[in-house]
Amino acid sequence: MSALLRDELHVVVTECGNGIWEWEICRKGEPLAARMRDGPFKSEEVALAAGKVALRKFLELLGFAP
Question: Which has more pLDDT, 62 or 17?
Answer: 17
Query: Percent helix, strand and coil across the chain, each rounded to 5?
Result: 35, 35, 25
pLDDT for position 6: 77
Distance CA 65, CA 45 (A): 25
Q: What are the pLDDT digits (tens) for 2-13?
A: 666 778 999 999
Could you tell me the pTM of the whole model? 0.87
pLDDT for position 5: 75
Query: Which stretches of 1-66 are assigned E, i.e. beta strand?
Result: 9-17, 20-27, 30-31, 37-41
Q: What are the pLDDT digits (tens) for 20-54?
A: 999 999 999 899 999 999 999 999 999 999 999 99
State the average pLDDT over residues 57-64: 89
